[in-house]
Chains A and B, each alone.
Chain A
Amino acid sequence: MQLGDNIAPRLAFGQALVELGGRNEDVVVLDCDVGASTQTGLFGEAYPDRFYQMGIAEQNMVGAAAGMSTMGFTPWVSTFAVFLAKRAVDQIRVSIAYPKLNVKLNGAYGGIPTGKAGATHQSVEDIAVMRCMPHMTVICPGDPYETQQAVYAATDFVGPVYLRTVRCPVPVIFDEKHTFEIGRSYTLQEGSDVTIIATGMMTPKALDAARELEKEGVKARMIHMPTIKPMDEEVIVKASKETGHIITVENHSRLGGLGGAVAEVLTEHAPCHLTRLGFPDVFGESGDNEAIFSKFGVNTENIIAAAKAVCR
């Protein structure tokens, strides 16, 4: 994996699981007939005796993972985010989060990129749902490299973790100099005029926007926030005080996700002007990913425009 490569985080995720399986015999993977899509199939091929095909039955999969974790296994449960975080939300809540069991949840196909599957498969609420659940850690890696680091970090962490991966290729922006830690943010560009906070696959777009703004004379600070919960509040407060304007960018609804979480921090500790870029309160649709991002105002050009608007 080289800087600038375009690699699907789902593939990076699948490869990381295989690597992990080689050195940790307690790692097991549970799949709901979507392993070929979410790439857990790679683990299934490498370690068939630790790969559990649960059929198209998310609720039972989540419960079975809870049971396995009580015996010292570290189950990675994987299916499309839209089904995992919503169809099986009560099972996650009662069978995993409440007893604080050591189960890792991979919400694959997070957000809009679903291979044109449309609204039924576009998970734009999963971060909000998972974020308000006690005992839950929520991670939204920024690129394929960080996705792999997050898989390892989540596995080492003891307790429930929701890890969101995406389907479409995303540019590699991190290399071995980057060390992912749960709960930490990463300032990828310094700036004093405005702060852009992005999570997940929106970070490479936000970084492009920040660099473009720099050329145009707008000094944008760019913060990558891969852990939505627990959130690095200190860096948000500091950015508010030092730049006065914050823009959040996410492949998720504007309600309750990164934008909502940042708004909560700002309101309590350091109010400032906040622009939330994310999906409006409507259902998505089929179509080309980039076209949909642009239609709903969540693309590089929208970030640039939003920054210019608040810096005028």
Chain B
Amino acid sequence: MSRLSENEVQELKQTCRYVRKMIINTIADAQCGHTGGSLSEVEILVALYFHVMNIDPGNPDMPERDRFLLSKGHSSPGYYAVLANRGYFHEKELGSFDAMGSMLQGHPCMLKTPGVDMSTGSLGQGLSAGIGMALGRAKRGMDFNTYVLIGDGELQEGQNWEAAMYAGHNKTAGLVAIIDYNKVQLAATVPDTLNLEPLADKWTAFGWDVLECDGHDIAEVVETFEKAEEIAKTGPVVIIAHTIKGKGVSFMEGKFEWHGRPPNEEEREKALAEIDACGCEKGDA
């Protein structure tokens, strides 16, 4: 396992800051989009796309690439910002987010957006498709990994547990699920809506290896993915990433009101200033 150098950590943190600003701008420009869940997933996506995954933005369909599925498809602004940053398409496309004719639909569409491995948006479906890719990997004798990012509220969908039972029973290898556990959903906190706890025990009971990390400490996120890659060689592994909804913008953090609301101009400026001033470096989830 390779430890990140201090330089690498700083670079990744800088990328996270930049991605957060792109998220704010994308959503403020479009005046729609899911702010809170996009900000909570940033370190997870940056770790994957800038360090962990074997990908080639110039050849997005490369057969041996690692796969990524955003099961929490509504957090597309965070996903698109990372894909743009990584070079799958030009940053200026973010300005067309949610507009008619755009390659950037409200929820990810694999037919329209380079780099998107699966269309998602109806919650609970990503893990099953990820299992299919992992089954295909085994049948083709390949060794890539499939990463599926799932929202916490999304785990209330029963299909996730059908999928969890299947992968646990079959020791499906090459499959890494990540829970963006920001503990807030559309209209209330997760515990106040339908509690998931004991979450780690649930996954363990379904036959998965469970890792937990501070989902905003980029070094810890990378390290956790490296552990997950090892475990995934023989069976499915889930990372419960403890995050903060709206991370990086003080007035959005932990607030369900920012689940699906775009910032107005004043809020945009305030948010960008906060992100610039830093905010999001410390892993204090």
Contact = CB atoms under 8 A, between A and B. Distances in A.
Interface stretch (A64-72, A107-115, A277-285): A64-72
Contacts of A62: 128
Interface residues of B, number: 32
Contacts of B117: 70
A59 B132 CA distance: 12
Given A94-B122, A98-B119, A67 B162 contact: no
Contacts of B135: 52, 64, 67-68
A3 B206 CA distance: 51
B121 interface: yes
A186 interface: no
A59 B118 contact: no
A91 B128 contact: yes
Interface string B155-166: 000110011011
A274 to B, nearest CB: 36
Contacts of B32: none
Contacts of B109: 98-99
Given A55-B165, A55-B166, A60-B131, A67 B136 contact: yes
Contact of B132 (A64, A93, A100): A64
Given A28-B139, A57-B162, A63-B159, A94 B110 contact: no
Contacts of B127: 63
Contact of A57 (B119, B136, B166): B166
Interface in A156-208: none
Judged by DSSP, the binding face of A is helix
B132 A99 contact: no
Interface string A62-96: 11111111111101000000000000001101110
Contacts of A94: 119-122, 125
B270 interface: no
A67 B128 contact: yes
Contacts of B140: 71
Contacts of B187: none
B233 interface: no
Given A59-B162, A62-B128, A99 B118 contact: yes
Contacts of A98: 109, 119
Interface in A2-28: 28
B137 interface: yes
Q: Which of B128, B130, B131 has the most CB of A within 10 A?
A: B128
A66 B129 contact: yes
B133 interface: yes
B111 interface: yes
A306 interface: no
Interface in A37-75: 49-50, 52, 54-55, 57, 59-73, 75
A66 B118 contact: yes
Contacts of A64: 128-129, 131-132, 135, 163, 166
Contacts of A63: 125, 127-129, 131-132, 159, 163
A67 B125 contact: no
A258 to B, nearest CB: 29
Contacts of B124: 59
A154 to B, nearest CB: 19
Contact of A60 (B110, B118, B139, B162): B162
Contacts of B128: 59-64, 66-67, 91, 95
B166 A70 contact: no
Interface string B203-236: 0000000000000000000000000000000000
A203 B162 CA distance: 39
Interface in B164-200: 165-166, 169
Contacts of A28: 139
A254 to B, nearest CB: 30
Nearest to A63: B128
Given A59-B158, A64-B132, A68-B133, 4 more contacts: A59-B159, A66-B128, A67-B129, A93-B122
In the A-B complex, the 9 residue pairs with the closest CB atoms: A67-B132, A63-B128, A71-B136, A60-B162, A57-B162, A64-B132, A67-B129, A68-B132, A99-B119
